[in-house]
Amino acid sequence: SHNYHFGLEDHEGISELFDCD
């Protein structure tokens, strides 16, 4: 696939991005 640059670290995910961690 298109070499998309994944920037999130292992300890980051959708929960952290929406302050639900």
The torsion angle over the Cα atoms of residues 11, 14, 8 and 10, rounded to 10 degrees, is 20
CA distance 6 to 21: 20
For other proteins, the binding residues in 1-21 under the rule CB under 8 A are 1-2, 4-8, 10, 13-15, 17-18, 20-21
Helix segments in 1-21, DSSP class H = 14-17
What is the nearest approach in angstroms of other proteins to the Cβ of residue 17? 4
What is the nearest approach in angstroms of other proteins to the Cβ of residue 9? 11
Residues that bind other proteins (CB under 8 A): 1-2, 4-8, 10, 13-15, 17-18, 20-21
